[in-house]
Chain A
Amino acid sequence: MQDRPTAVELLDALGGFMRDRAENARDRWERFQFQVAANSIGIIKRELELEDGFMRAEWAGLDRLLGAEEMPKEQAALAVRLGERNAELVEQIRSGAFDGEAEARLLPHLWETIVNKVRVASPNEAL
């Protein structure tokens, strides 16, 4: 167990620094660079807080589309396997397996996973 500040608290501090540098920038280029950096800190922070739940939800969605499979317990293994299962889903989409009526099963999953990605990457765009 690490001491405080926690990772999220450290990121908050870093983000505050970046925003301050953006506000007091010498020129447009520098302001933009620090704004982008502050945004990236925000992405990392939201990902730390939310991604665990989002990956489980994505796994459950893929179970419904590709058939159930036991979920890896370890986070890194889960990420690898999710990537592989998404590649399988792509193959099935490309082969036409989700054309026609089957599309109604696919679309809610696509919507949910992408809304969750956007909640991490650009929350202002989420809805």
Chain B
Amino acid sequence: MSPEKRGTGDVAVEAARRVLGDGAAISEPRKLAGGAMHDSWAVDGTVDGSSRELVVRVSPAGRADYEKTRREFEVLKVAFGRGVRCPQPIDVGRFESGEDYLVMSRVRGDSNPRQLVTSDQYAGARKRLIAQLAEDLARIHQISPDDVAAAPNMRGPAAGEDPLAYHRREAEAMFRVFLLNPHPAIDWAFRWLDRQIERLPRPQRAPCVVHGDFRIGNVMYDEDGLTSLLDWEGTHIGEPEEDIAWLCTRVWRFGKNDLQAGGIAPREEWVRACEIASGLEISRERVATWEVLQNIRWAEITMMQARAHLDGHTQSHELAAIGRRTAETELEILRLTGVGARVG
């Protein structure tokens, strides 16, 4: 087989061999449910009689972003060392043929969020989960920018800049790139955000590492609750309120809209759990402001996904349909900013 023709499963086996050595017996790779940008494979290896269970995530040539993969690896390394429940990162690298890979330990558990939020079998897990998520999030937020100096390009606010102001500016830059048609409500929401940022007291804490995609769909669990926090691709520098608010965004509640925090707990119970776990005072107003910004970001993701189809990058009726979910997100933005209560 020529190197250009090999699939990501072959790349996964080759990456596992780099980690385990030429003497290892390596199983057939098994494809795992995964994102649009990468393929993840479960690979088992046996070295000198002991077995290793790995996940190898492969980014195909052309879609690979080695700097980003290395960033994720370096942050995972620090988080794992601090006791955060997350995959242990083992190796990161790339092949001359263009693919890059991340090798991690395989953690047991399920990651289907709908089942977690709605099934009776996981009622006990849901009860425990809020405190567990708050604990691990507090551990992540104790990581300072200096602690992850080895991670390339950790974007974040300049010294002394309000993280909310920085990420609001980034979100608008993204919006101008991805929008497919005018969205007066989102442009109004940016002005609302500016007034909020002007009005709110500046945070007194130093910026910290944030997970960057802290939602219920990235939680791996079993009947005892949290087993692993997945998908650290979005990690960057920010403030705790950003991750806290992202878990509350309406789109991932699976219909449990009275349980704003990921469909498993009321928003206030979640914020309180974060305060208890971290010992920090969490500003409800900043969380509320972040939740508006996070919904704008979700609206941008829906546009980006629709655009991937419309540009012919990835032909997909599913991506096309996501483009029509921008509207429900705009409606949520108007609810969160109080417009619904004023005029609805």
Contacts and interface: CB of A to CB of B under 8 A. Distances in A.
A90 B324 contact: no
Contacts, number: 79
A125 B184 contact: no
A26 interface: no
B327 interface: yes
B325 A122 contact: yes
Interface size class of B (residues with CB under 8 A): 20 to 34
B321 A36 contact: yes
User: In this complex, which of A98, A110, A122, A125 has the most chain B Cβ atoms within 10 angstroms of its Cβ?
Assistant: A110
Contact of A114 (B187, B330, B342): B330
A4 interface: no
User: In this complex, which of B181, B187, B331, B344 has the most chain A Cβ atoms within 10 angstroms of its Cβ?
Assistant: B331
Contact of B185 (A83, A114, A125): A114
Contacts of B331: 114-115, 118, 125-126
Contacts of A40: 317, 320-321, 324
Contact of B184 (A36, A37, A93, A118): A93
A83 to B, nearest CB: 6
B182 A90 contact: yes
Contacts of B328: 118, 121-122, 125
B324 A110 contact: no
A118 B327 contact: yes
Interface in B314-344: 317-318, 320-321, 324-325, 327-328, 330-331, 334, 339-340, 342-344
Interface in B168-202: 181-185, 187-188, 191
Interface string A37-58: 1011001000000000000000
A33 B344 contact: no
Contacts of B182: 83, 86-87, 89-90
B136 to A, nearest CB: 28
User: In this complex, which of B188, B320, B330 has the most chain A Cβ atoms within 10 angstroms of its Cβ?
Assistant: B188
A117 interface: yes
Interface in B279-332: 317-318, 320-321, 324-325, 327-328, 330-331
9 contacts: A36-B318, A90-B182, A90-B183, A107-B339, A110-B339, A114-B327, A121-B324, A122-B327, A125-B328
Interface of A: 33, 36-37, 39-40, 43, 83, 86-87, 89-90, 93-94, 96, 98-99, 106-108, 110-111, 113-115, 117-118, 120-122, 125-126
